[in-house]
Chain A
Amino acid sequence: MRGPDVIWYVGVAGFLFCTGALGVLIRRSPLIVLLSLEIMLNGANLALIAFARHYGQGAGQIFAITVMAVAASEVVVGLGLIVAISRRNLELDVDKLSTLRG
């Protein structure tokens, strides 16, 4: 394999995952939380594809495509929720949307 070893890709994937986790934890806008979730899923995808290349098997790529479909579904539902929230004139702030809290 030319270029960097798989472990470098895994490092980038770990960094992306932690960046996304940081975004989910510190941002309060649901839109940016969704974008951060996308970064986390992409970090996991990069690790899957890197390990698939390492073992020379296609199953990891299949899993990455499945993760992509799940991410698209999650975006559909998340954006639907955001539009529904804004239609009810609620504030777009994940700290203030606490009506469902027990």
Chain B
Amino acid sequence: MIVASVSNVLVWAVWVLAAFACVGTGIAVISFTNPFYSALSLIGNLASLAVLYLLLSAEFVAAAQVLVYAGAVMVMFLFVIAYLGGRADAPWAGGPSWQALGAVAASAALFTEVVVVVGLKSSGRLSHSAHIDSTYGTPAEIGRLFLTDQLLAFEITSIVLLIAAVGGVILGSHSRAHPVEGVEQ
């Protein structure tokens, strides 16, 4: 009994730490003027999200999150930011504009909407989660689902990745035959 309550407190403490790290780094990403710091904050955000995934017993997704995002996507971001150098700086527009005020109001309204709808519709139903066995979230289970029930999603994902790779090559290749002209500054 005591062991159970101690581990419960421990899980709560880890959750609070990860959730605050997640929220704080999320706000940091959108408020830094230097995109390099923004990208570094996003890595912190992804790492704390991986901790939350682990608490939800999604071990494979947490590992994939760290590998795919922190490993691959963020390296790509940092390369592009380094390539752009000083041109990548994103200073804030001076003073609050009606656009910024409207954006803050819109996203605050969105958050209120989410909280109200989830609070009203769940009404205690979200407090008793289903019992899971030890195979839940393991790579074997994910692989079995991918190759049986969710085969269509698997195939569509491969096509999406192929299209993105082709698009990246086309966008990134120099085309000497079509010189840049008539482009407005």
Contact = CB atoms under 8 A, between A and B. Distances in A.
A15 B61 CA distance: 21
Nearest to A23: B30
Contacts of B167: 76-77, 80
Nearest to B109: A18
Contacts of B145: 58-59, 61-62
A14 B46 CA distance: 16
A3 B15 contact: yes
A54 B132 CA distance: 9
Contacts of B180: 88
A88 B35 contact: no
B104 to A, nearest CB: 7
Contacts of A16: 22-23, 26, 45
Given A22-B103, A92-B84, A5 B126 contact: yes
Interface in A1-52: 1-12, 14-23, 25-29, 31-32, 34-36, 38-39, 42, 45-46, 49-50, 52
B42 A10 contact: no
Task: Determine chain A's interface SS by DSSP, over half rule.
Answer: helix
A73 B77 CA distance: 13
Contact of A22 (B30, B58, B88, B118): B30
B126 A54 contact: yes
Contacts of B60: 61
B106 to A, nearest CB: 7
A102 interface: no
Interface residues of B, number: 93
A48 to B, nearest CB: 9
Nearest to A11: B115
Which of the listed residues B80, B119, B142 has the most CB atoms from chain A within 10 Å of its own CB? B80
Nearest to B39: A35
Contact of B185 (A28, A73, A89): A89
30 contacts: A2-B8, A4-B15, A5-B129, A10-B118, A12-B19, A12-B22, A16-B22, A16-B26, A18-B114, A21-B107, A26-B30, A26-B104, A31-B77, A31-B88, A31-B90, A32-B30, A35-B30, A42-B49, A58-B142, A59-B150, A65-B142, A66-B156, A69-B161, A70-B160, A71-B69, A73-B160, A79-B76, A83-B80, A83-B83, A84-B171
Given A36-B29, A49-B53, 14 more contacts: A3-B12, A6-B126, A18-B108, A18-B111, A31-B90, A32-B35, A35-B35, A46-B53, A58-B145, A70-B157, A76-B168, A79-B77, A81-B171, A83-B80
